[in-house]
Amino acid sequence: MSVYFLCLILFCIGLYCVLRKRNIIKIIIGLGIMEYAVNLFFILIGYRYPARAPILAKDQVIANIVDPLPQALVLTAIVIGLAVTALLVAIAIRIYEKYGTFDITKIRKLHG
Amino acid sequence: MELHLLLLFMIFAALVAVEIEDLLSSVIAVGAVGLGLSLAFLILKAPDLAITQLVVEILCLIILIRATIKKDLPLIRDGRWLFNTVSTILFIVFFLIFSYFALKELPDFGQPIMKVAKEYIKDGLLKTGASNLVASIILDFRGYDTLGEATVLFTAVIGVLVVIRKVGRINGK
Amino acid sequence: MENKKAGMTLIVKTITRLTVGLILLYGIYIVLHGHLTPGGGFSGGVIIALSFIHLMLAFGKEVALKKLSEVWASILESLGAIMFLSIAALGFLGGYFFLNFFLSKGRPFTLFSAGIIPLCNIAISLKVGAGLFAIFVALVLFKGLTKEK
């Protein structure tokens, strides 16, 4: 129970960074921290206490196995998070080349 | 017990990453959060995820360092900065209070309800022949989701290659 | 052979020469044994991309682009995606999407087991590795950006 709460505090730190910072790179860092917190929360839900990893071995009958379904979902989520971060950094570099600054309060012209 | 210590380390590193002014140092602090996450996956008995998170973290750091050019901009204290900061912190505190009541309804940490996963564990080896249960789930039982994920990666690569192009026809030539 | 001024110092270049082949081999091992040990197509593909990126960071971009040019990277990525899609569409012969159509699944716990899962892993690793290398090349070679520190 307290582990879930600590994980949500990590999520809120990322949320504060996205809401209050002015530099685009800091916002991207905040999004990355939120992603880590959400992936950790999924795996915390699927943990079983006296259990083993979901890999079967030869000539062994394993009694308890950790839930493998959230692990399959989070595996794709991690790689998708990397692709989204790369796209955000490409857009940020483009914005810097056009406006000369990373400050979001100075990027006002949405046309052209 | 080790999980609590690791989560406290990750929270401390995240606070450092958010508040420091120099962009290169905050990117390195995000790397520390990722390393802590990979160790947490190992403690929670998920070796596939630990390998994937470690190498993806390395690649993410390389891409982020490419973009750190200037220093962080200081918080400008004009207008309604106090109101904005206080209302953000108040919103986060309310969110945490309501989430405490919601988290009490979840099953205890360590006893999940595994309705669908029991079927996968019972005849995963018989039906697919793979001894890695996570691989048999993502490529055989739920292969359609993997197709969607491959599409998302493809779209992201095309997006980056389109956004980064040479100076176009409007200014140049 | 290499330009002495491009890339990083001599220590980094010597260590890279010794270890970059081992990193590529380790990535291929993780992909091929994805149905027996932890790993699979995604992490193996990222490790293969990291070996090429390591080569580019240590030696400069001409040497790395000679080993894997941008044209070949995009061709390999599309090839991986088409291979994965065709393996999935072959299931239409049996009436399902994504049917595991090898009749004998082999003996479990050996390398040649588990039907189409190793083939899918190879296709995914090609796609992820070549795609991430293409992203890195596009972000690094972008000219017109002045670096101020």
Q: Which of the given ranges, B65-79, C12-26, C133-147, has the highest pLDDT on average?
A: C12-26
Q: Which one of A12, A83, A94 has the shortest CB-CB distance to B156?
A: A83
Which CATH number does the domain housing residue A30 bear? 1.10.287.3510
Distance between CA atoms of residues A67 and B121, nearest Å: 9
Digit-coded pLDDT (tens) for C77-108: 999 999 998 888 876 666 555 656 555 566 66
pTM: 0.88
pLDDT above 90 coverage of chain C, percent = 38
Same domain, B55 and B2: yes
The domain ranges of chain C are 10-140
Strands (E), chain B: none
Cβ separation A36–B34 shorter than 8 A: yes
Whole-angstrom CA distances from C55 to B90, C46, C48, C127 are 49, 14, 11, 19
Give me the interface pTM, i.e. the ipTM. 0.89
B96 part of a folded domain: no
Q: Which of A13, A69, A102 sits opposite B70 (nearest CB)?
A: A102
pLDDT tens, residue by residue, B20-44: 888 888 999 999 999 999 999 999 9
Hey, CA dihedral for A72, A73, A77, A78, is it positive or negative? negative
Select the residue of C37, C113, C136 nearest B129 (Cβ to Cβ).
Answer: C113
Number of domains in chain A: 1
CA C13 to chain B, closest CA, distance in angstroms equals 18
Give just the sign of the alpha carbon dihedral B74, B79, B85, B86: positive
> Residue A33 sits in which domain range?
2-54+64-106
CB A65 within 8 A of CB A46: no
Place of tokens 């989560």: B7
* Residue B154, token pair as written in the block: 């493809």
Q: Which is higher by pLDDT, C4 or B119?
A: B119
Same domain, B68 and B122: no
> Which residue on chain C is closest to B165 by alpha carbon?
C142
Q: What's the domain range around B67? A: 1-72
Residue B70 has pLDDT above 60, yes or no: no
C38 with A55: Cβ contact below 8 A: yes
Residue B103 lies in a domain: no
Mean pLDDT of B106-133: 83
Residue A88 domain-assigned (yes or no) = yes
> Does the structure show a pLDDT above 60 at B77?
no
Q: Is C12 exposed, middle or buried (0-12, 13-18, 19+ CB in 10 A)?
A: middle
Say whether B63 sits in a helix, a strand or coil: helix
Q: What percent of chain B shows pLDDT beyond 90?
A: 44
If you write DSSP's letter for every residue of chain A in order, what string do you get?
-HHHHHHHHHHHHHHHHHHH--BHHHHHHHHHHHHHHHHHHHHHHT-BTT-B-SB--TT---S-B--HHHHHHHHHHHHHHHHHHHHHHHHHHHHHHHHS--BGGG------
Q: Would you say residue A25 lies in a domain? A: yes
Give the type of residue at C138. Answer: A
Q: Which chains touch A (3 or more CB pairs under 8 A)?
A: B, C
Predicted confidence at residue C147, as pLDDT, reads 46
Which residue among A9, A13, A68 places its CB closest to the CB of B18? A13
Residues B115 and B66 in one domain: no
Same structural domain, B56 and B123: no
Q: Are residues B10 and B60 in the same domain?
A: yes
Whether B100 is in a domain gets the answer no
Let me know if residue A83 belongs to a domain.
Answer: yes
Closest Cα in chain C, distance from residue A90 (Å)? 7
Q: Please report whether residue A59 resides in a domain.
A: no
Residues 64 through 123 of chain C touching chain B, CB cutoff 8 Å: 77, 81, 84-85, 88, 97-98, 100, 105-106, 108-109, 113-117, 120-121
pLDDT tens-digit map of A4-49: 999 999 999 999 999 988 888 899 999 999 999 999 999 998 888 8
Is the separation of the CB atoms in B164 and A101 below 8 Å? no
Residue A112 within a domain: no
Does A33 map to a domain? yes
Residue B7 falls inside a structural domain: yes
Domain count, chain B: 2
